[in-house]
Amino acid sequence: MQNPYMPYPVRIDNITVETEDKNLKTFRFVFLDPQDEEKFGYRSGQFAELSVTGKGEIPIGIASSPTEKGFVMFTVNKVGLVSSFLHAMKEGDIMGVRGPLGNWYPWERMQGKNVVIIGGGFAFTTLRSSIVYMLDPANRSKFGDIHVIYGARTPGMLLYRDELIDWEKRDDISMHITVDGTDDPNWKYNTGFVPTITEQKAPPGGEDTYAVVCGPPIMIKFTQPVLDKLGYSHDRIIMSLENRMKCGIGMCGRCNIGKEFVCKDGPVFTLEEINKTPREY
Amino acid sequence: MKIVQIEKNVWAAGLKKLSETYRLFGPVKEDDFHNFKRLQQGQLPDLNCLNTRLSPKSIIYPQTEVMFEYSLDENQEDHHILKEINKDYSPQAVIGIRPCDAKAFALVRLNFDTAEYQDPYWLKAYEATTLVGLACESPCSSCFCTTAGCGPYHEEGLDLLLIDNGDQYWAKIITDKGDAFIAAAGWNDPLDAKATAQKIEAKRQAAEDKVCSKVNTDNLRGIETNDLYNAPFWEDVSFSCINCGTCTYVCPTCWCFDIQDENRGNRGCRMRNWDSCMYPLFTLHGSGHNPRDTKLHRVRQRFMHKLKYYVDKYDAGIQCVGCGRCVRLCPVNIDIRRVCELMNQYAASADACEVR
């Protein structure tokens, strides 16, 4: 019997401070046993439990893409006991990764369709994974137009800034980066909240277009009416939810929204599915 | 079907023999009530108890259980890497478990044994366990097993059912595990299966007739989750709740748990502990946000889980066996039978009000 609670041992290979407030760091892990990397085969949208030995586990979305080999990557916001301790760890330290867990964005259903990625704040991690996955030369032809609307409070709070700028330069992806506000005279992208920019830049909804939305509750709240107005049906609005989790495999009982466990039946749901639940997230 | 007769005067000798192959558990009197305990050499289970205060779930699913060990000492090889630990999964038997508590394990199994994941701790302990049931002849006033998918002679989840017949027990063998248990005890006095089955049937009927407390669950599946969730009665139901967690602690079908690391010096273990949906910390996000931040949310979660979400998810009835412990022990008299009725009737009244 395979023990689903046993993490794979990993070494912290690289740590990058992502944001100007230093509250977000990206950790790149290498599996101690290369065979574990094979076993950890994942899809964009899944998460894993980061196991900080002696402190506990935290559920974090996988920020690397399955097309990136040799490591797995997670961006962690410093909030509680485990994430604070993790932020104080250094390259070379040993810890664990347990997963991959949960479902993924509906890649099969989105084949041949236009994809509009809408993200806010630090909820851009699995969206980064998705963009890298779709832009991979082996995959780009499987999708129609790709739009990305991504916003943060300030330019310094945007994740993966170098990559964002690289993607801006490409012609096979339409980037709409925005910040709530900035006094930087050299800021040459959008200014405004994500729902506003969505209204201005997102393509109209329809049979062939999916919106993948990930962000803080306030962003989601104000983005939904915009998508409704643009004609997105609720089975084409894809969302990734977060809840407190422990087991990550649908057993410990805390992350449910109605009968669905966010950890196992999610974290990815269509808005249509979420509407049928009590939305306790 | 095999039914064996056990004269009560050979009962103790049989148990002695069984203790060589099984770790034996049974109801034991503690102060004013009974609980399931490991039986010491020569100790007999007290089969006269009505039902135990706590359910026997901890025999398979301990309240606190070590999952892994680790070293934090960087001089050690394999430091910070979790290690499996050896556990005693040798055969054990629970003697005198009531049919309701045995069926509870079958319900809980649906959570721990899924197509995608198997919980190794729960399953190995469950597989190592033989459940030797004792049919109920005199239910408590708070028992409502017969309408909760169970009953005083219910066999689901049991390996063996003992029926008290005065000077003997009749032992109805239900599974191979039960067969092995009887063989290990050396009880080999077979009864005419057909004739005894008829007598058991009559006793079963008489015992079931004594269970007068009932719940109705027929509408639960049909009603929309969100209608039930938004029903007005939750305010009233949860008003007196003090979120003490007694209901989840004594319930044989409550399975929620927490995982924690605990260190002592440079060593530590990852363990899991029973947790409860009654506690605010159960769902508190790191950000401070809590999707179930009021007791109304938490009380509603408990009843919705047992009587609606579970029903919808597994199509195996309600997540309750009618043992009545939460009814007896709730300090503010919240009664799952009343809540079930409110939920079940709400479905009915919603239908009645439908405007066409």
Residue of B nearest to A83 (CA): B286
Nearest C-alpha in A relative to B309: A259
ipTM of this complex prediction, to 2 decimal places: 0.93
Residue B318 belongs to a domain: yes
Are the Cβ atoms of A251 and B286 closer than 8 angstroms?
no
CA-based nearest distance A272→chain B, Å: 13
Asked if A196 and A146 sit in the same domain, the reply is yes
Where in the sequence is the domain holding B83, given as residue range(s)? 2-210
Asked if A115 and A212 count as a contact pair (C-beta separation under 8 A), the reply is yes
Structure-token pair, residue B106: 């079958």
Q: Which of B149, B183, B210 is the last residue of a domain?
A: B210
**Is residue B325 pLDDT above 60, yes or no?**
yes
Closest CA to A240 of A140, A106, A42: A106
Q: For residue A263, tell me if it sits in a domain.
A: no
Residue A249 in contact with partner chain B when CB distance is under 8 A: yes
Best mutation target, B67, B89, B261, to test chain A (most A CBs within 10 A): B261
pLDDT for residue B347 is more than 80: no
A84 and A192: one domain?
Answer: no
Which residues from chain B sit within 8 angstroms of residue A258, using beta carbons?
225, 229, 304, 309
B-chain residue closest to A10, CA distance: B81
Shared domain check, B303 and B193: no
Is A91 inside a domain boundary? yes
Query: Which residues is B7 bridged to in the sheet?
Result: B168
Amino acid at A27: F
Q: Closest residue of B to A55, CA-based?
A: B261
**Whole-number Å distance between alpha carbons of A85 and A104:** 28
- Stated as kind and residue range, the H or E segment containing B273 is strand B267-274
Look at A254 and B286 and tell me if their CB atoms are within 8 Å. Answer: no
Task: Label each residue of A6-56 as H, E or C.
Answer: CCEEEEEEEEEECCCCCCEEEEEEEECCHHHHHHCCCCCCCEEEEEECCCE
Q: Are residues A17 and A94 in the same domain?
A: yes
CATH number at residue A168: 3.40.50.80
CATH no. for residue A96? 2.40.30.10
Residues A142 and A229 grouped into a single domain: yes
pLDDT band at B173 (very low <50, low <70, confident <90, very high): very high
> What is the pLDDT of chain A when averaged over all its residues?
96
Quick: pLDDT tens for B206-260: 999 999 999 999 999 999 999 999 999 999 999 999 999 999 999 999 999 999 9
Which of A213-217, A274-278, B71-75, B320-324 has the lowest average pLDDT?
A: A213-217
The verdict on residue B201 lying in a domain is yes
For residue B353, the model assigns a pLDDT of 53
Give the mean pLDDT of A26-47.
Answer: 97
B218 inside domain:
no
B225 to A278: CB separation less than 8 angstroms, yes or no:
yes
Burial A178-187 (b: 16+ CB within 10 A, else e): bbeeeeeeee
Residues of B in contact with A250 (CB under 8 A): 111, 114, 116-117
On chain B, the residues whose CB falls within 8 A of the CB of A96 are 80-82
Based on the domain organization, do A89 and A176 belong to the same domain? Answer: no
CB contact under 8 A, A278 and B229: yes
Residues of chain B with Cβ-Cβ distance to A29 below 8 Å are none
Whether omega for the bond prior to residue A100 falls within 30 degrees of 0, making it cis, is yes
Residue B286 covered by a domain: yes
Q: How far apart are CA A48 and CA A100, in angstroms?
A: 5
Residue B350 sits at the chain A interface (C-beta within 8 Å): no
Separation CA B153–CA B251 (nearest Å): 20
CA distance B344 to chain A (A): 17
pLDDT mean over B124-128: 98
Q: Give the pLDDT confidence score for residue B208 in this predicted structure.
A: 95
Residues on chain B touching A247 (C-beta within 8 angstroms)? 257, 259
Among B72, B257, B313, select the one facing A259 at the smallest CB separation: B313
| Domain end call among A49, A75, A101 | A101
If asked whether residues B179 and B238 sit together in one domain, one would say: no
Residues 267-296 of B with CB under 8 A from A: 268, 270, 272, 275, 277, 282-287, 289, 291-292
Best residue of B70, B114, B116, B117 to probe chain A, by most A CBs closer than 10 Å: B117
Name which of A9, A243, A255 is nearest B81 (Cβ-Cβ): A9
Answer yes or no: do B84 and A250 touch at CB < 8 A: no
> DSSP per residue over B48-88, as a string?
T-S--SS-GGGGTS-SEEEEEEEE--TTSTTTT--EE----
Subunit contact A258:B275, Cβ cutoff 8 A: no
Q: Assess whether B300 and B163 both reside in one domain.
A: no
Kindly state whether residues B45 and B131 are assigned to the same domain. yes
Residues 57-96, chain A, touching B (beta carbon < 8 A): 57-58, 77, 79-80, 83, 93-96
Interface contact B112, partner A, CB < 8 A: yes
Query: For residue range A40-85, what is the model confidence (pLDDT) as tens digits?
Result: 999 999 999 999 999 999 999 999 999 999 999 999 999 999 999 9
- In whole numbers, what is the pLDDT of chain B averaged over residues? 94
B216 domain residue, yes or no:
no
- Considering the domain boundaries, does residue A72 fall inside one? yes
CB pairs under 8 A between A and B: 134
Is A118 found in the same domain as A96?
A: no
Residues in chain B closer than 8 A to A244 (CB atoms): 282-286
**Which of B313, B314, B318, B319 to probe the A interface (max A CBs under 10 A)?**
B313
Domain count, chain A: 2
Single-letter amino acid, residue A84: S
pTM: 0.94
- Same-domain check for residues A119 and A231: yes
Specify the pLDDT at position A55: 98
**Residue A87 and residue A124 share a domain:** no
Report residue A218's pLDDT band, with 50, 70 and 90 as the boundaries: confident
- Counted domains in chain B: 2
Judgement on whether residues B114 and B174 belong to the same structural domain of the protein: yes
Last residue of a domain, one of A58, A80, A101: A101
Q: Is the pLDDT of residue A221 over 90?
A: no
Asked whether residue B350 carries a pLDDT value surpassing 70, the answer given is: no
Distances (CA, A) of A170 to A201, A212, B355: 17, 21, 57
Domain-embedded: residue A227:
yes
Please name the residues between 133 and 192 in chain A that touch chain B, using a CB distance below 8 Å: none
Say how far apart CA B153 and CA B135 lie, in whole Å: 5
Residue with tokens 């899809």: A43
For residues B122 and B145, membership in a common domain is answered with yes
Q: Residues A138, A210: one domain?
A: yes
CA distance linking residue B338 with residue B343, whole number of Å: 9
Residue A59 belongs to domain spanning? 8-101
* Residue B351: band (very low, low, confident or very high) from pLDDT cuts 50, 70, 90: low
CA B66 to chain A, closest CA, distance in angstroms equals 12
Instruction: Tell me which of A58, A259, A275 to substitute to probe the interface with B (most B C-beta atoms closer than 10 Å).
Output: A259
Q: Is the pLDDT of residue B348 over 60?
A: no
pLDDT at A216: 84
Q: B230 vs chain A: nearest CA distance in angstroms?
A: 9
> Does the pLDDT at position B119 exceed 90?
yes
- Residue B165 shares a structural domain with residue B241: no
